[in-house]
Structure 1
Amino acid sequence: MTSRHASAQLRRTVLSSFIGNTIEFYDFLLYGLASALVFGDLFFPSLSPFAGTLASFATFGIGFIARPLGGFVFGHLGDTIGRKTTLVTTLCGMGAATFAVGLLPTYDTIGIWAPVLLVVLRFIQGFMVGGEWGGAMLMVVENAPAHRRGFFSAWPNTGGFSGQLLATGMFALMGMLPDGQFQSWGWRVPFLCSAVLVGVGLWMRGRLGESEVFEQVKQEEGKAKAPLLDVLRHDWRSVLLIMSLRFSESVPFFLLTVFAVSYGPEHLGIPKATLTTAIMIASVLAFPAHGFFGALSDKVGRRPVYVYGGLAAAALAFPAFLLLKSGSAVLIVLAYCLVINLAHNACNAVQPALFTELFGSKVRYSGASVGAQLGAIVAGGLTPFIATALTGGGDNWVPVAAYASAVALVSAAAAYFFTPETSRRDLVDTSSAMTAGSESAPAPDTGTAKAPETDTVAP
C-alpha cells in the first residue's frame, strides 16, 4: 500500500469511527438526559418524585448491564468474521431501538407495558453499544502508524462528547417549548432524529475496508475459533484490569452529565440551562484535550497519562461539588471543565489504544469489548443510581464526592501497579501484553498504515 493510499485509508477510518461513535453515543446519552428530565413522570407516575427518579435511573443502568452481552456476541463476530460487518450491524440495531423509544406510548396510554417496553428498548441499546465501542476503536488502532496510535485513536473516542453536544443541544432546543408540549411530544423529537444520523453513519461505514491487521493474522494463522473463551481462559487479568481502570473515567462523566442534571436543579437551585451550558462547553474543550493527551501517551507512555487522570479525578471530586454549590454560573462551568477536561479526558483519550493493546491480535475485539463493557456496568451505568441513593433524597452531596474520589484512586492504583506499558506493542503479536514484555523494543509498523510524520488527521 502506498503512503498516499495508506494516509487516505487512515483518514476514512478515523472519520468513520468518529461519526459512528458519535451516533451511537448520541442515541445512548439521549436516554440519560430523558431519564433525568421526563421519564420519571411519563413512565413511573405512580411513584414519588424521588422513587420515580431512582426507577428512571435504574432503567438507564439496564443499558449498561446489556453492554457486556453485546461485547460477548459482537466481540466474537468481530474476531471471526471481521470488524466492518460487525460495526454496520451494531449501528443499525442502535438506530432502530432509539427510533422506537421516540414512538413509545407512555404509562397513561398503555399502563405497565410502557415501562416494560422502555426497559426492553434500553436493553437493546446497551447490547448494540457493547459491540460498537471496541470495534470502532480497534479499526483506528489497527490502521494507525505504531508511533501515533494514541493520537489517532483518541479522536474517535470524542464521539461521546460530540454525541453529548448533539443530545444536549436537541433537548435544549426542545426545552424551549411550553412544558405541556415538551412533555407530550417535544422529548420524542431527538429520538426520532436519530434515523437521519444512522443513515449518514451507514454511508460512511460502507466505504471502509477491513483492518489490515485482521486480514494479515487471518492469512497467517487462520480465524479465531473461540476468542471469548480464550479471553476468559488466558486474559482474565486484563479484563479485570480494564474494569478497574474505568472508574476514573466513567464515574466523573456520568455524575456531571446525568446525576447533576437531576440533582442540581432540585437540591442546589441550579437552573437546568446553566448545567446544559456547562456540559456543552466542556464537550467542546474535550476535542483539543483528547488530541493532547493521546499524543502525550505516544511520547511518555499510556500508563503515566492514566495515572495522572485517576489522581486528578480523585483530587477534584470535593472541589467540584463546592463549585456547584456556589451557584455561580462561571464557577459551575469551571467545575465541569476541571473534572471533565483535565481529569476524565486524560483517561478517556488513552483508553482506545491501551485497552486494545493489552490483547493479542486474534482476541483483541472480544477482550477490549468485554473488559470495557463489564467495567461500564459498575463504573458507568450504576453511577446515577448510586449517587442518588447516597444523597438519601436530600442535598447531602458529601458521600457522593467521597465515592467519586475513592473509586478514582482505585483506577490510579490499578494503572500504576498493575498496568503494563503497551505503547510499543506490536499489534500482529497474538500474545497477551501482560506476558509479552510490552516495554521492549519499539513495535514495527508492519500491519499498520503508514502515514507521514506531519500528518495531523482529525475529524
Structure 2
Amino acid sequence: MSESAVRNIDHPEQPPVPRSRIVIASMVGTSIEFFDFYIYATAAVLVFPVLFFPSGDETAALLSSFATFGLAFVARPIGSVLFGHFGDRVGRKATLVGSLLTMGIATFVIGLLPTYDSVGYLAPALLALMRFCQGLGLGGEWSGAALLATETAEKGKRAWAAMWPQLGAPIGFLFANGTFLLLIYGLDFDAKTSASDHAFMTWGWRIPFLASAIMVAVGLYVRLKLTETPVFAKAVEEGKKVKAPLAEVVKSNWRELVAGTFIMVATYTLFYIVTTWIISYGTGKVTDASGVKLSIGYADFLELQLIAVLFFAACVPISGRLADLFGRRAFLLVVTAAIIVFGLCFELILDPSSMTDGTMLFFLVLGMTLMGLTFGPMSAILPELFPTNVRYTGSGISYNVASIIGAAVAPFIATWIVADFGVGWVGVYLAVAACTTLIALFSVRETKTVDLTEV
C-alpha cells in the first residue's frame, strides 16, 4: 500500500485518499476531542467549584467538581460500545462523524449553562449531563481515529502511522490551556484574589467552550471527505461483519479485553495525576498531610504545564518510531518500569516544604515525557489485539474501561491521599497502577507483525 495515498478497495473506481488527508483527519478529530475534554478539566479546578456547587468547604467543592469530571469516564465505555457497534457494522467514517458531533455539541452547550446562583441544583445536574455526553463522544472517537490510522498504514510503519491521532492529545492540551491562559491575562484574573463576579468568572470561562464549535466544523469538513478504510472494506466484501460486535468480542476475545484494559491503566493514571490533580496541589487548593500549602499562582502553573506538554508532544512521534523498531511490548515494558520509578520519587520531588517553580517544572517535564512515550504506541497495540470485525468495539472498550480504572478516580483518590497521608503516597498509587500494566504486558504476545486483515 502506498505511503502517499490509500485506495478504497471496496470502491476501486474512486481516487485514492491522500495520506496527508488521513493524517489530518485522524489527528484533527482527537485534537478537537481532547481540547473539549481539557477545557473541562481546567474549569473543574478553577471555575466549576465556585459557580456550579453550593458554597462551603473548599475541598468538598473541589471533590464534587472532580466527581463530575470523572462522570465522563463512566460514559466512555458506554460510548465505545455504542459507537463501536456502528463502527464495526456500518463503517469507520460515518461513526467518526457521529462521535465528533456528540462531543462537540455537548461542549458547546456547557458554555451556555446557567450557574448554581441562577437555577440552584439544576446547574450541576445539567453540567453532569453534558459531561456524560462528552464522555459518550470521546468513547467512540479514539478507537475510530486509531483504526483510521492503523488500517491504512504501510507495512512496517503501523506504530508511526498510529501515533498521529495520539499527537492530537498534546495539541488539544496546548490549545485548551493556552486559551485559558490568554483569557486569564487578558481579563486580568487572579484565581486567589479575584471576586466571583469578575469578568472571567462571569463570561470569560465560557469562550473556550463556545469556540469549540469552530473546531468541530473544521473536523467535520475533513472527515466527510474520507472514504472507508481498505481493511474494513475488505471485511465487508468478504461478508465477515458480525451482527453483534459486543457479544462477539466478549465471547471470543475477553482475554484481549482484559489485557488491553490494564495495558492502558498506567498511561491514564499518570496523565491525570500530572495534569488535573497536580493543578489543585500546586496552586494550594488542597493542604498536604504535613499542613503545608503550595502557593504557585494559577497562571504561572498553566505556563509550566504548557512548557511541559511540549515534551509530551515531542515524545509521541519518538515512541512511534521506537515501537516500530523494537516492538510495542518490549518498548512499553521499559517505559512502564520508568513510570514506577517516577512514582516512587514523588516524595522527593514534590516535598511541599521545599517546592519551587523550578522543581514543579522538573516534575511536570518528567511526567509529560513519560506520558508521550507510553501514550504513543497505544493506538497501535490496542487495535492489533483484536480481529477486524470487532476491532472498533474491542479496542474502544479496552481504552475506555481503563479510563475508569486509571483516570476517572485518579484526581479524586490523589486529592484524598495527599490530604491524609502526604504526597509520597500519591506516587505509590501511580507505581501500583503501573505494576498492573507490567503484568498485562507480560501476558500478551508481540503484535508488531500481526496482519490486520485477519478476522
So what's the TM-score if we normalise by structure 2?
0.91
**Where does the alignment leave 5 or more consecutive residues of structure 2 unmatched?**
7-15, 285-292
Q: Is the 8 A contact 1:308 1:346 kept in 2?
A: no
Q: For each residue in 1:52-86, what CA deviation from the matched residue of structure 2 results, as whole angstroms up to 9, or x when unmatched? A: 01000000000000000000010010000000000
Question: One-letter code of the match for 2:356?
Answer: S
1:352 maps to 379
1:444 maps to none
- For residue 252 of structure 1, report the CA deviation from its aligned partner: 1.3
Report the Cα distance in structure 1 between the residues aligned to 2:202 and 2:300, rounded to whole angstroms.
Answer: 24
- For residue 400 of structure 1, report the CA deviation from its aligned partner: 1.1
Q: Is the 8 A contact 2:17 2:226 kept in 1?
A: no
Q: For each residue in 1:290-326, what CA deviation from the matched residue of structure 2 results, as whole angstroms up to 9, or x when unmatched? A: 1111111111100011111211111012434533434
Matched, 1:276 2:302: yes
- Larger mean Cα displacement after TM superposition, 401-410 or 69-78: 401-410
Q: Secondary structure at the match of 1:268?
A: coil
Question: One-letter code of the match for 2:47?
Answer: V
Q: For each residue in 1:382-419, what CA deviation from the matched residue of structure 2 results, as whole angstroms up to 9, or x when unmatched? A: 11111112123x6821221110111112212221x202
- For residue 248 of structure 1, report the CA deviation from its aligned partner: 1.6
- For residue 46 of structure 1, report the CA deviation from its aligned partner: 3.2
Change (3 A) 1:57 1:2: closer
Question: One-letter code of the match for 1:300?
Answer: F
Q: Which has the higher helix share?
A: 1
| Candidates 401, 408, 416, aligned match of 2:427 | 401
Question: One-letter code of the match for 1:37?
Answer: L
2:359 maps to 331
Question: One-letter code of the match for 2:225?
Answer: R
- Larger mean Cα displacement after TM superposition, 260-269 or 297-306: 260-269
| Candidates 294, 306, 327, aligned match of 2:320 | 294
Report the Cα distance in structure 2 between the residues aligned to 1:299 and 1:68, rounded to whole angstroms.
Answer: 32
2:413 maps to 386
2:437 maps to 411
2:175 maps to 166
Report the Cα distance in structure 2 between the residues aligned to 1:48 and 1:68, rounded to whole angstroms.
Answer: 32
| Candidates 252, 265, 272, aligned match of 1:247 | 265
Change (3 A) 1:395 1:328: farther
- For residue 330 of structure 1, report the CA deviation from its aligned partner: 2.6
User: What RMSD, in angstroms, separates the aligned Cα atoms of the two structures?
Assistant: 1.6
1:218 maps to 236
Percent of paired sites with the same residue? 37
| Candidates 181, 201, 208, aligned match of 1:190 | 208
Report the Cα distance in structure 1 between the residues aligned to 2:449 and 2:183, rounded to whole angstroms.
Answer: 47
2:330 maps to 304
Report the Cα distance in structure 1 between the residues aligned to 2:388 and 2:365, rounded to whole angstroms.
Answer: 36
| Candidates 181, 184, 192, aligned match of 1:175 | 184
Q: Is the 8 A contact 2:4 2:19 kept in 1?
A: no
Q: Is the 8 A contact 2:84 2:140 kept in 1?
A: yes
| Candidates 317, 321, 343, aligned match of 1:317 | 343
Q: Secondary structure at the match of 1:182?
A: helix
Number of aligned positions between the proteins: 427
Q: Is the 8 A contact 1:155 1:287 kept in 2?
A: no
Matched, 1:123 2:132: yes
Q: Is the 8 A contact 2:242 2:248 kept in 1?
A: no
Report the Cα distance in structure 2 between the residues aligned to 1:327 and 1:149, rounded to whole angstroms.
Answer: 42
Question: One-letter code of the match for 1:372?
Answer: Y
Change (3 A) 1:53 1:3: closer
1:429 maps to 454
- For residue 225 of structure 1, report the CA deviation from its aligned partner: 1.0
Q: For each residue in 1:136-160, what CA deviation from the matched residue of structure 2 results, as whole angstroms up to 9, or x when unmatched? A: 0110000011200001111210211
**Where does the alignment leave 5 or more consecutive residues of structure 1 unmatched?**
431-459
Change (3 A) 1:2 1:406: closer
Matched, 1:94 2:112: no
Matched, 1:143 2:169: no
Change (3 A) 1:3 1:33: closer
Question: One-letter code of the match for 1:168?
Answer: N
